Amino acid sequence: MALAPDRSILLVEDSPEDREATVRAIKKAGLTNALFWCDDGDKALDYLYQRGEYAGPGKAPRPGVILLDLNMPGSDGREVLVIVRNDPNLKSIPIVVLTTSTDVRDIEAVMALGANSYIVKPVGVDGVVKAVQQLQSIWKLQF
Amino acid sequence: MTSATSGRWAAWWAWVLEVAAVAILYYAAGRIGLTLQLPDTNASPVWPPSGIGFAAVMLLGYRIWPGITIGAFLANLHTLPPTAAGLGASCGICFGNTLEHILGLFVLRRLVGSRNPLERASDVFWFVLAAGVGCLIASTNGATNLWMWKIIPGSIYGQVWLAWWLGDVAGILILAPVIFTLFQQSEFGWRGMRVLEAIALFVLLAAVTQFLFGDNRGWLDLELMDSLAYAVVPGIAWAAFRFGPRETALAAALVSAVAIVNTSNGSGPFYRQPADIGPRAVRSSDEGSTITLPELNAGEGTQMPGGTAEPSDLTRRQRAESLLMLQIFVVAIAITAAMLAGAVTERDRSEQALRDLNATLEQRVVARTAELKQANEALERSNQELDDFAYIASHDLREPLRGINTYSTFLLEDYQDKLDEEGQSKLNTLQRLTRRMESLIDSLLTYSRVGRTELAVQETNLGEMLAEILDSLDVVLKERGVEVRIQQPLPTVRCDRVRVGEVFRNLITNAMKYNDKPEKWIEVGRCNTDAALEGSPCAEGFPATFYVRDNGIGIREKHLDSVFRMFKRLHGRDQYGGGTGVGLTIVKKIVERHGGQIWLQSTFGEGTTFFFTLQRG
């Protein structure tokens, strides 16, 4: 159970409590990758395009996976998802959506927007493990 | 003098003026009537004063009677011989003539009421009847008076009576409508072609009548002329269909006037040349002179027997015949005119009423539709707002709740060794409560979502869907020992697959949970038109109704209505597997969003059946 250790994880999440739970679950799942955190969608886009506070070499390494919350102030998760999926440079980055909804419709909707997997919040170890397994099966140990 | 008394005086003076006017008109009409006498008789075929009198009571009411009495007294006094007998007869006759109109109006009001009697065919019939009944008094009273005062011999009582009666009736039928309609509002504008048409009608009608009744024997000598007199009827019909009751009454009066004038001048189909009074050429020189006929003193135009030779029986019969035919003609024309005009007016009125009704109906439908649409929009808006509120509120409520749950988990994980058993137990309770809160909010969210989001309607094989649901519930069902029977294969219908799946899952789960029997069963089926199967829960007449039936604990009758209420539970929180109490509320909402209905039958202690449809109707 591992992601390529040289790849970082970008966590986009506005709630500090949810972030803490997610970080904890990632660690518990045994992932040791570098973790970057943006607390809204606009900052996430700045990070990905290395602009604003993320301008400059080394400040924003290209992530190996994005954990994306959906409901955020400013640009929300769905917008980020669409922009990343339509950018030729970014679209190969796997995205795991963090959702509060268990409704089949909602999940189908974000998968249709281009998410590769999802974890229902609060994020626990099981969710992280399952998502990583799913990514690995799709990308065939691409990390 | 107060204004009230002055008002009374003004009213009194107005009445006096009206009475005087009627008296003068009545008297004048009587004088004119006398000039219409047929040759060699004292009988006027039409007694115009009776038309004046009847129109007067129709327009002004019973109170105008003194005008009629005075007018009739003067007219008779002028006509009858200036003797004591003449005075006596005048007194007697004038009261009969007054009573004629009082009784006529009484009958008319009884039969027709206070509405215009010339605007319906049936009312015209009653109008004719009232005139006929009223005139019975005048003719009986008049003939009796003349006989009692020895002005006429008893032998011609019958003839006088009939001529009097017909003359009065004709006077009413011809003149009263003309005068009465003069005081009614005309229904159409008199413009251009309309005026020309009216002029053409009256000129043509006068010309035709003149032709039929005038002296035309030189070049058209036909026996047929008698019946040709009625060829004026199409002209009357023209007036009735193209104009109103007033113009039709005028047309009838015009025809009658021309017919009477010509007949009294000794021509026309109804004139019978008396055998003992030479050829017409000779007789016509006598025109204007009054030949007194004691045998036929009809109408009030009666004069003393005078110095002419006694006419033969043949002459008498011919004169009576002339008079009768003319009177019948006039009465027939008058009735035809009034009937046609009444029927046409009635038809026009009802057509107009129908059009008006249609217009108002349309307006009302439009207005009502707009109101409903508005109300509907308002309702939709408030529903939408409620759903939005529920969604947003519950969505935002979840985040802090998740935080509480997360941090209590952190506490349990990170401080396990520092917390004693009691502390851990309390934290567990905290977590249990947050989970419960979360499931309540989830239910609320689901509920609002069912209302907010469009249904994803698709062809759905309910049989397959049910199999999937039972498959996923298989473990629990086996665990609880519940047997599921599928009564009929379920059809493929158009519905939202996911939502309807929730309905079945929810009803089946409920049926499974609320059951304390040792042998538990659930029956799922669909009512057919021919599903009068033994033991089927389907009442007749519920085709395409699905049902989920169980032999569970049942629901008390008083709770039947509240099972669909949100967060309403009938049992303790931890009994029967718990739950938020929102399941059936969501089920109902889903069914209703499909346009269907849900209801239930239950016997407490024996089981419950939920029915639902997925279509409107």
pTM comes to 0.54
Q: What is the ipTM of this complex?
A: 0.76
In A, which residues are within 8 Å of B446 by CB distance? Answer: 103
Q: How many CB atoms lie within 10 A of CB B204?
A: 12
| Arithmetic mean of pLDDT over chain B | 83
Residue A12: strand, helix, or coil: strand
Q: Which of A19, A69, A101 to mutate to test the interface with B (most CBs of B within 10 A)?
A: A101
Closest chain A residue to B409, measured at CA: A21
CA distance B433 to B613: 37
**Following DSSP, what letter does each residue of B579-603 receive, concatenated?**
--S-HHHHHHHHHHHTT--EEEEEE
In B, which residues are within 8 Å of A28 by CB distance? Answer: none
Task: Determine, for residues B410 and A20 on separate chains, whether the beta-carbon distance falls below 8 Å.
Answer: yes
Q: Which of B399, B408, B448, B455 to mutate to test the interface with A (most CBs of A within 10 A)?
A: B399
Residue B484: strand, helix, or coil: strand
Name the stretches of chain A with pLDDT < 70.
1-5, 138-143
Closest chain B residue to A22, measured at CA: B406
B378-426 tens-digit pLDDT: 988 887 787 777 777 777 788 888 889 889 988 988 898 888 889 889 9
Phi and psi torsions of B608, nearest 5°? -135, 145
Q: Two tokens at B5?
A: 């008394």
pLDDT at B4: 67
Residue A87: strand, helix, or coil: coil
SS3 letters across B292-350: CCHHHCCCCCCCCCCCCCCCCHHHHHHHHHHHHHHHHHHHHHHHHHHHHHHHHHHHHHH
As averages over each run of 10 residues, the pLDDT of chain B (617 residues) reads 73 91 92 75 82 92 92 85 82 88 92 88 92 92 87 84 91 93 76 87 92 72 68 90 90 92 83 55 34 36 42 72 88 93 91 92 91 91 79 79 89 88 90 86 82 84 92 90 88 90 93 90 78 52 78 88 80 72 89 89 90 81
The continuous run of DSSP H or E covering B40 comes out as: none
In A, which residues are within 8 Å of B456 by CB distance? Answer: 105
- Pairing between strand B545-550 and B520-527? antiparallel
B562-574 tens-digit pLDDT: 888 877 777 776 6
Task: Determine, for residues B402 and A102 on separate chains, whether the beta-carbon distance falls below 8 Å.
Answer: no
In B, which residues are within 8 Å of A104 by CB distance? Answer: 498
Closest chain A residue to B391, measured at CA: A101
Q: CB pairs below 8 Å between A and B: how many? A: 35
**Following DSSP, what letter does each residue of A113-138 receive, concatenated?**
HT-SEEEESSP-HHHHHHHHHHHHHH
Task: Determine, for residues A17 and B498 on separate chains, whether the beta-carbon distance falls below 8 Å.
Answer: no
Minimal Cβ distance to B402: which of A17, A101, A105: A17
